[in-house]
Amino acid sequence: MDVSSTRPRRVAVLLAGGVGVRIGLDIPKQLIKVAGKTLLEHTLAALHEHAMVDEIVVMMAPGHLDAVRAIVRDGGYDKVSAIHEGGATRNETTQRALETLGPEESHVLFHEAVRPLVSQRIITECFEALHQHPAVDVAIPSADTIIEVGPDNTIRNIPSRAALRRGQTPQAFRSSVLRHAYELAGQDPTFEATDDCTVVLRYLPDEPIWVVRGDERNMKVTDPIDVYLADKLFQLVTTEAPEPLSEDDYRAALSGRTVVVFGGSYGIGADICRLAEQHGARVFSFSRSSTGTHVERRADLVAAAERVMAESGRIDHVVNTAGVLPRGALLDTSEETVFAATDINYLAPVFIAQVFHPHLAVTRGSMLLFTSSSYTRGRSGYSLYSSAKAATVNLTQALADEWAGDGVRVNCVNPERTATPMRTKAFGDEPAGSLLESEAVARTSLDVMVSDFTGHVIDVRRDSPSA
């Protein structure tokens, strides 16, 4: 592991030892498929993609380690350093994980595999908090009144909600602190705890436990309705953009690489070309106006790929920003417009994927597509556009799964209303300051393109870091 000597290694322990009793399954619930992937893989991907995670240890239910090995192998999760059987209890599983890590001081984050919607922010704040605090929990305020009930099923107490929180995971610790807490717990014949923060609180009461703000979406899939809710959330949820890189990091990631941009003559595409070139990439821009390239024609795409390979010998990243924005009621739309909009907005990404995948597989590169906020709900007057953008999101997620074994990453950027020639043509002049600048979207696109992300829809808003 390439870990800086100035800090402890950061390890994420994926707790996957539960079974699907409440859901009524004969397999562990973390192997249930939601939104096309198992819960375990969704959660593993969130940890694997985080820049602060150095390595991952998976603690799996006995008898199901082969399923995890297959997921790790097929998904290219090279941060996974160990896969072990979990214990009979949560506490026993934690102790086995600590034994795996050895005596070296580490910053360890424990997260339940059945919380697949954990955010990058939460992971970041947990690791950052360990610089000042020995233990960290994640919790959210309780919107419901909490009541304490006695053995006779009558209310004994109603605590004030102001001081109450609903606990989630991750929980994070300096490994020496958690190890010491468990050593003391082992000397207590009455020891019993349902989570690791309880162990620290009970046996090392002088060690403060910091609380990181959780997220309502960081739900735990426990009951049958949770499976349904998680599936719906995955359809709607977008991913936070990766942290912007330094100028040196951009150059290291792009120098000597070849970037192909369709729709690169103006707007976001042109800005992506310019920024990538500034940081050392060799950029090939194709568009109808500049090169006579029609993205909806397979022959044009094949010709573009052949030209790039002849001149550069490699293709590392492919970006498609080409699109049209027809407006008007569907009943008033001509057949010509229907075909043009469908061909350019949907079939073009499909053909680009087919033509360029063999080249991206060689370099283990990435493909970047673009959607619109209208993909979550069709809008009057935008039926062709919004439906194609919804299809692009599904295409992104499907290809990310299909191509994971080849090491090819596929993502989709979802920018807020952006000042581009296409938008001006459709809507005319709009109030200054009400739109994103295309360069801000381009910079975030660059961050996503060179990141480890795959299968994500990344929001870009005016308050985003790169914007």
What CATH number is associated with residue 414?
A: 3.40.50.720
Q: Is the separation of the CB atoms in 397 and 35 below 8 Å?
A: yes
Q: Are residues 198 and 297 in the same domain?
A: no
For 36-90, write each residue's pLDDT tens digit.
789 999 999 999 989 999 999 999 999 999 999 999 998 889 999 999 999 989 9
The gap between the terminal CA atoms of the chain, to the nearest Å, is: 33
187 Cβ neighbours under 8 A, 6+ residues apart: none
Across the chain, mean pLDDT equals: 89
pLDDT of amino acid 333 = 92
Q: How confident is the model at residue 418 (pLDDT cuts 50, 70, 90)?
A: low
Same domain, 300 and 211: no
Active-site residue, 385 included: yes
- Is residue 106 within 8 Å of residue 9, measured between CB atoms? yes
**Per-residue pLDDT at 186 exceeds 60:** yes
| 209 and 277 together in one domain | no
Is 465 inside any structural domain? Answer: no
Domain check: are 252 and 112 in the same one? no
For 15-35, the pLDDT digits (tens) are 998 665 554 556 788 998 887
Residue with tokens 């603690």: 59
pLDDT given for residue 95 in this prediction: 95
Is pLDDT at 200 greater than 70 in this prediction? yes
Same domain (yes/no): 157, 302: no
The domain boundary residue, chosen from 192, 213, 236:
236
Residue 242 domain-assigned (yes or no)? no
What pLDDT does residue 37 have? 83
Over pLDDT 90: what percentage of the chain? 67
Q: Are residues 348 and 373 in the same domain?
A: yes
Based on the fold, state whether residues 227 and 81 are members of the same structural domain.
yes
State residue 300's pLDDT score: 98
- Cα 261 to the chain's mean position, in Å? 23
Average pLDDT (337-355) is 96
Tell me the β-bridge partners of 286.
262
**pLDDT tens for residues 223-254?**
888 888 888 787 666 677 787 888 999 999 99
Q: Could you tell me if 108 and 81 lie in one domain? A: yes
Q: Are residues 440 and 379 in the same domain?
A: yes
Strand duo 258-262 + 317-320: pairing: parallel
Same domain flag for 232 and 276? no
Longest CA pairwise span in the chain (Å): 80
Residue 87: inside a domain: yes
Contacts of 273 (CB under 8 A, 6+ apart): 259, 261, 264, 283, 285
Per-residue confidence (pLDDT) for residue 1, from 0 to 100 = 47
| Residue 4 covered by a domain | no
Q: Kind of pairing, strands 37-38 and 33-34? A: antiparallel
Question: How many independent structural domains does the chain possess?
Answer: 2
Sort 151 into a burial class: Cβ within 10 Å, 0-12 / 13-18 / 19+: exposed
Which residues are 368's β-sheet partners?
319, 411
State the average pLDDT over residues 286-314. 97
Is 16 among the domain residues? Answer: yes
Tokens of 377: 């709900």
* pLDDT for 327: 83
What is the 3-state secondary structure of the chain?
CCCCCCCCEEEEEEEECCCCCCCCCCCCHHHCEECCEEHHHHHHHHHHCCCCCCEEEEEECCCCHHHHHHHHHHHCCCCEEEEEECCCCHHHHHHHHHHHHCCCCEEEEEEECCCCCCCHHHHHHHHHHCCCCCEEEEEEECCCCCCEECCCCCEEECCCHHHCEEEEEEEEEEHHHHHHHHHHHCCCCCCCCCCHHHHHHHHCCCCCEEEEECCCCCCCCCCHHHHHHHHHHHHHCCECCCCCCCHHHHHHHHCCCEEEEECCCCHHHHHHHHHHHHCCCEEEEECHHHHCCCCCCHHHHHHHHHHHHHHCCCCCEEEECCCCCCCCCHHHCCHHHHHHHHHHHHHHHHHHHHHHHHHHHHHCCEEEEECCHHHHCCCCCCHHHHHHHHHHHHHHHHHHHHCHHHCCEEEEEEECCEECHHHHHHHCCCCCCCCEEHHHHHHHHHHHHCCCCCCCEEEECCCCCCC
pTM above 0.85, yes or no: no
pLDDT value at 414 more than 90: no
111 touches 173 (CB < 8 A) = no
Indicate whether 2 belongs to any domain: no
Range of the domain at 284: 247-460
Band of residue 184 on the pLDDT scale cut at 50, 70, 90:
very high
| pLDDT at residue 26 in the model | 65
CA distances from 219 to 58, 60, 199, 231, 431 (A): 20, 20, 23, 12, 39
Residue from 182, 203, 250, 385 carrying the catalytic annotation: 385
205/327 same-domain check: no
In a domain, 324, yes or no: yes
For the cut 80, the answer to whether the pLDDT of residue 442 exceeds it is yes
Q: Are residues 215 and 334 in the same domain?
A: no
CATH number of the domain bearing residue 44? 3.90.550.10
Predicted pLDDT at 36: 74
Q: Residue range 144-153: average pLDDT?
A: 93
Comparison of pLDDT for 234 and 397, the residue scoring more:
397
